[in-house]
Amino acid sequence: MNERKPPENFKKRKKQDPAGLVAAGMLAAGFLFFCVPTARRLVQAKVQDKESAPIEDAAEEMEQRPGMVGRLVIPDCGIDVAVFSVTGDDTAGTRQRIVNRKDSALYLPATENTREIIADHAVQGFSGMEQAVPGSTLLYLNGNGTTKVYRCTACAVGTGTNTGSDLLDANGTSLLAGQDGKLLLYTCHGLWQTVSYTIWEPLETVPNG
C-alpha cells in the first residue's frame, strides 16, 4: 500500500477566532443536542471560502487545553476543530458544554459495543462533513506526535435519526453499535431529531514531522 501522508507543512497555526455563531440548546440525554438551522447558510459560505487546512502537531495545544485528545482536520470539507473527551463526570451537561464551546468537538472512544464517535454543532462548521465523498475524502486526527488517517466510506445528509439515546440510519439500524473499528461523525441537520453522518475507515497512523 502506498504511504499516505498528512497534508504538507505541519506548522504552528496562528490562533483564529471561529465565526461567532452560538448554538442554543442543552443535551437532554445521551447523544442528543439542539442546533440552530437558520445559521446553516453562513456556515456553508465559510466552508466554501476556506482553503485546505494544514495539520500541525497538536502536542503543545493539548497541554494548554485540558481534555483535548487531538485535532480533527478534513481539508476537503473545511473542517479543522479541536476534539475533547469527557473529563470528570460523564453527564449530558458535560457533553453539551464541550460541543457548545468554540473550536471544540466531542470525542467518545470506542467501547465493546459502540464505535468511536466525534460530534459537534452544524452551525459551528461540522455541516461541512456533508461534502465528504465516500472512497475519496480523507480525514486526519492529529494527536500527540502522530496522525491517524481515515477514508470516508459513507456520507448521509439528513437521513439519520437521533432518538435521544441512539442514532439510526434510514433503515432503523443503529449507527452507534458496532465493533468494526470505524469512526462515526455526526451533526444535526435542521431539527435535532434529524442528523447527517459520515463513517470513516482507518488507513494508517503516521508520525508528525
Residue 7 counted as domain residue: no
Residue 121 counted as domain residue: yes
Over pLDDT 90: what percentage of the chain? 53
For residue 147, give its domain range: 37-65+78-207
Identify the weakest region by mean pLDDT among 33-47, 92-106, 149-163. Answer: 33-47
- What is d(CA 107, CA 117) in angstroms, rounded to the nearest whole number? 6
Instruction: Give the model's pLDDT for residue 18.
Output: 28
The amino acid sitting at 87 is T
- Answering whether pTM is above 0.75, one says no
Pairing of strands 68-74, 138-142: antiparallel
HSE-up (13 A, CA, CB side) for residue 72: 28
Residue 16 counted as domain residue: no
Identify the weakest region by mean pLDDT among 60-69, 83-92, 115-124. Answer: 83-92
Residue 13 counted as domain residue: no
Residue 100 counted as domain residue: yes
Over the stretch 18-39, which tens digit does the pLDDT of each residue have? 222 222 222 333 344 444 332 2
- For residue 93, the domain's CATH number is 2.40.260.10
Confidence of residue 51 (pLDDT cuts 50, 70, 90): very low
Counted domains in the chain = 1
Pairing of strands 146-162, 105-108: unpaired
